[in-house]
Every structure is written in C-alpha cells, then in structure tokens.
C-alpha cells in the first residue's frame, strides 16, 4: 500500500480522539487472560498488533465477549492456560512476542512464537537471557531472532535483573515470568522506560515489590481497564497542527503518563503552541485533552539523552518536525531505534534526504538541519511510524510526496488516513 500527500491547502481544524494506547491494550489483554474472573476493558486499540495478542490469548484459553465499545474478557487464572494447538503468530508486534514469552516461559507446556518478516529479524536475546537466568529453556533462530521455541517448565526462580537497556518490553517480560517464579523478581534499568506494567498490575490485585518487582505466586484477579488514547498516535496530529499554517486541533483523552510524554516537552522546547486541559486520572494512568495550534516559529534543539525513553516511538515524527525547524536538532542515545519495526534512523534519514533535507546520521542518533522540504518519493519500509511521519511532513512539503511501504499503518493506527483527512489533511491511500 502507498500513501500520497499533497501540501495542505487549508488549516487543520477540529477534534480527534486518537485510537487506544497500544502498550496499555496489550497489557490489558494479557493481564485479563491471566486473571481469575471477567475483566472489562474499554477503549482497546483495534489494530493488527493488538489483534495478534488477543488471538494468542484466546488460543491460551481466554474468552472474549464484545458489547458495544466494551470488551468482557474471561480470564483463565495464571495456572489455567491451555497449551496452544499451534505456533502463535505475533505478526509485526515486538510487544506481543516479548511479553507473552515471559508468560509462556513459565508454563508446564511447550510453545512456539513467530512473527512476520520484520519481527523475525528483531533481537530476542534481550529477553532470552534473563528468562534463562530464571531457569527457562528457550531456543531462538540464528542471531537470537524469532521463532522462539519455549520448553515447558514449572520451576522458574526469581532474580534481581539489571537490564542493560531501558526497555519496557524486557522489563514486563521478566516481571510476568516473575509472577510464576520462586521468590521475588525485580528489574532495574539504566533509565526508566514506560511503566504501564507497574501501573496496571496493582489494578489486577498484584502488590508490587519495591518500585519494579513482583512476588512469585502472586495471583491476578479481574479488573476494569479504561484504555486512554495513544500519545504516540496523537503525536502525528500534534506535529501536523504545529506545522500547517493557521491550524488548531483538540486531541481528546490522550494518555499523558510521565514515562511517555517526552513529545510534549520536545514540542514545547521547539516553540509549539500546546496546552493540556482537564488533566485527570483514569485507572492508574494520567490523561488529558491537548489543544495545539500552529507554531509561529520552530527552533531546533538538543534532545537530552535522558528524555529518549519517554519519546522513543516519536523519534521519526520529531525528525520530520526538525526538518522544517530553524537550525539543527540533535538526537543521541537512540540506538534502540535501529532494532524497531525497521531501522528507523536509517529509514527516516533516507526518506528525509530524498526530500532535500540536510542531516547527519550517527550510530545512536541524528542531526537534522531544518529548511524547506521538497516533494518526491520515499520508502516507509513497512514501518507504520515512519510512513505516518512522512505523511505529516508531506502536509508542508512544496509538492506531492509518495510514500511506499505504508501498509503497516494498520498495526497501530488503522484510521490514520481517514482521521487526518477529516481535519483537513491532504492524504490518500493508493
Ligand atoms: C513498548 C515498549 C517500547 C516501544 C514499543 C512498545 C511496550 O519498546 O518502542 O513500541 O509496550 O512495552 P522497548 O521495550 O523495546 O523499548
């Protein structure tokens, strides 16, 4: 699938409620599956990635009933999972694979997890290592990539794991396995990654050990989860409204967890006109409405490395923003971007250069120097966030931008094209 943009001919205006948070949706499904009783989930993201988790949970025994916008999930209890009859397909989703691997490493039956072409190239050693330390037996493909062949065991032991990377997928994987282990399991990381697992576990009746730990044998009980709109999807609209002259958008019910809101800080520092209204708590999470108007002047900034985990998925759209801001934006400490759904630093760098943008690529980041952006043809490389970032930038390019490899926007934001067009954006699917 291809996207084609034209320079926006009028301001973007109106209200958008972006789709449900992807990270929270995966966790709501997995925790509900492991819980005793019926959980209730509203606002769940309906996208390919989340469907992969839902399908796997159903294969493991979870019951799903939909009533309007609410999902009723019948959990099987942590000891009640059934052996899946076939390998579990995680599609494009690293979160699905890494979190479910934590659960499956502790089951008395064998299982196999595989993914699509992109996921099958992503590193799994980062989870296999701590799970092996806990007593699990997992075989990977060569280079530590999927498929994962997990041998059944009921004898994991707790560990204090010092993760070498700030990764919520690693952290959550180890904590989920820790629910089944003997003794306590704790995780520390160099910088705090998104903490949705730690926020949601108590709602399912689990008491945390310290800031990031669980006691083995903890049982989960059914809960109600209201999934807020995904700040990572909202980010495309924040940047689009910031760039297109005269725009004003209201983004409703956006999750503003402090471990995720780096994009808000970056936009403010770069000169965006953004205000948060009606900040409130919804379940364990902070949410608010964001009003964002076109910026008068945008300036490049140095993004502190400590901010990177809180904006890790927003780096592609920040690179697009930097391409039309005065001066240079420097991003470092972002080597993780190279092992996402694509090598995002490379895919964005290639595409931006194609549109005439000046930049320098480093192993762990980029310097993007702002100027004007030409039309042209770019490759989204099957990466949803890169494709959407180019579509946003296309709104202020001097001519049409054709974006190839955009089919995977369905993994996180199936209504992106419709939603952007509905507020006045010029984008089409081909
Ligand atoms: C996620 C964690 C992040 C993020 C991904 C979702 C999660 O990945 O990039 O989109 O839901 O835990 P890492 O844990 O690999 O940093």
For ligand 1, the distance from its centroid to the CA atom of residue 53, given in whole angstroms, is: 14
- pLDDT tens, residue by residue, 104-145: 999 999 999 999 999 999 999 999 999 999 999 999 999 999
CB atoms within 10 A of CB 294: 19
List for the chain the helix, strand, coil content (%; round to 5). Answer: 35, 25, 40
- pLDDT tens, residue by residue, 235-261: 999 999 999 999 999 999 999 999 999
Q: Which residues contact 334 (CB under 8 A, 6 or more apart)?
A: 308, 312, 315, 345, 364, 365
- pLDDT tens, residue by residue, 148-177: 999 999 899 999 999 999 999 999 999 999
Task: Give the nearest ligand 1 atom to 339 CA.
Answer: 15
**Using CA positions, which residue lies closest to atom 10 of ligand 1?**
313
Task: Give the nearest ligand 1 atom to 312 CA.
Answer: 9
Give burial (CB, 10 Å; 0-12/13-18/19+) of 330: middle
**Using CA positions, which residue lies closest to atom 11 of ligand 1?**
23
Percent of the chain topping pLDDT 90:
98
| pLDDT for the residue numbered 283 | 81
For ligand 1, the distance from its centroid to the CA atom of residue 288, given in whole angstroms, is: 22
For ligand 1, the distance from its centroid to the CA atom of residue 309, given in whole angstroms, is: 9
Mean pLDDT calculated for residue range 54-78: 97
Mean pLDDT calculated for residue range 393-421: 97
How many angstroms separate the CA atoms of 323 and 355, rounded? 10
* pLDDT beyond 90 at 44: yes
Task: Give the nearest ligand 1 atom to 172 CA.
Answer: 12
Mean pLDDT calculated for residue range 70-93: 97
* Residue 24: strand, helix, or coil: helix
Please name each of the domains of the chain with its CATH number. 3-20+228-429 (3.65.10.10), 22-226 (3.65.10.10)
Give the mutation target among 23, 26, 388 for probing the ligand 1 site: most ligand atoms within 8 A of CB: 23
Long-range own/partner contacts, residues 374-377 (CB < 8 A, 24 or more apart): 374/398, 374/399, 375/399, 375/400, 375/401, 376/401, 376/402, 377/401, 377/402, 377/404
| pLDDT for the residue numbered 72 | 98
Of 313, 379, 383, 419, the catalytic one is: 313
Percent of the chain topping pLDDT 70:
100
* Residue 318: strand, helix, or coil: helix
* pLDDT beyond 90 at 270: yes
pTM over 0.75: yes
For ligand 1, the distance from its centroid to the CA atom of residue 230, given in whole angstroms, is: 13
The token duo for 430 is 């081909």
For ligand 1, the distance from its centroid to the CA atom of residue 356, given in whole angstroms, is: 31
Question: Given pLDDT bands bounded at 50, 70 and 90, which one contains residue 284?
Answer: confident
Task: Identify the residues whose C-beta falls under 6 Å from ligand 1.
Answer: 23, 26, 95, 167-169, 172, 193-194, 312-313, 336
- pLDDT tens, residue by residue, 205-226: 999 999 999 999 999 999 999 9
How many angstroms separate the CA atoms of 132 and 180, rounded? 14
Let me know if 160 is a catalytic residue: no
Q: What is the mean pLDDT of the chain?
A: 98
């Amino acid at each position: 699938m291809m996207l084609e943009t034209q320079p926006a001919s009028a301001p973007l205006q109106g209200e958008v409620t972006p789709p449900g948070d992807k990270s929270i949706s995966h966790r709501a499904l997995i925790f509900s599956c492991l819980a005793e009783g019926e959980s209730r989930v509203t606002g769940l993201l309906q996208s390919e990635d989340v469907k992969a988790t839902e399908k796997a949970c159903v294969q493991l025994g979870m019951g799903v009933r939909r009533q309007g916008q609410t999902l009723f999930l019948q959990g099987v209890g942590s000891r009640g999972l059934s052996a899946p009859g076939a390998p579990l397909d995680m599609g494009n989703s690293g979160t699905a694979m890494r979190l479910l691997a934590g659960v499956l490493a502790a089951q008395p039956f064998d299982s196999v997890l595989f993914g699509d072409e992109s996921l099958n190239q992503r590193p799994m050693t980062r989870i296999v290592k701590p799970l092996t330390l806990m007593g699990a037996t997992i075989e990977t493909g060569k280079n530590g990539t999927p498929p994962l062949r997990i041998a059944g065991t009921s004898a994991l032991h707790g560990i204090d794991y010092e993760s070498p990377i700030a990764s919520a997928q690693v952290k959550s994987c180890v904590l989920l396995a820790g629910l089944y282990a003997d003794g306590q399991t704790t995780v520390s990381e160099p910088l705090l990654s998104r903490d949705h697992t730690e926020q949601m576990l108590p709602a399912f009746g689990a008491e945390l050990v310290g800031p990031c730990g669980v006691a083995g044998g903890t049982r989960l009980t059914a809960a109600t989860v209201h999934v807020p709109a995904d700040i990572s999807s909202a980010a495309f609209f924040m940047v689009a409204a910031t760039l297109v002259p005269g725009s004003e958008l209201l983004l409703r019910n956006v999750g503003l967890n402090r471990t995720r809101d780096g994009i808000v800080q970056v936009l403010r520092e770069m000169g965006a006109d953004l205000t948060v209204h009606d900040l409130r708590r919804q379940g364990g999470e902070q949410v608010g409405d964001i009003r964002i108007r076109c910026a008068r002047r945008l300036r490049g900034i140095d993004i502190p490395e400590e901010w990177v985990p809180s904006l890790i998925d927003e780096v592609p759209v920040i690179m697009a923003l930097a391409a039309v801001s005065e001066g240079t934006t420097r991003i470092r400490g972002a080597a993780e971007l190279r092992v996402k759904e694509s090598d995002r630093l490379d895919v964005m760098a290639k595409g931006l250069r194609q549109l005439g943008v000046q930049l320098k690529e480093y192993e762990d980041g980029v310097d993007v120097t702002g100027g004007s952006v030409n039309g042209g043809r770019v490759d989204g490389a099957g990466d949803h966030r890169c494709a959407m970032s180019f579509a946003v930038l296309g709104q202020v390019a001097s001519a049409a931008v054709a974006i190839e490899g955009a089919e995977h926007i369905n993994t996180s934001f199936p209504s992106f094209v419709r939603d952007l067009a509905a507020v006045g954006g010029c984008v089409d699917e081909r």
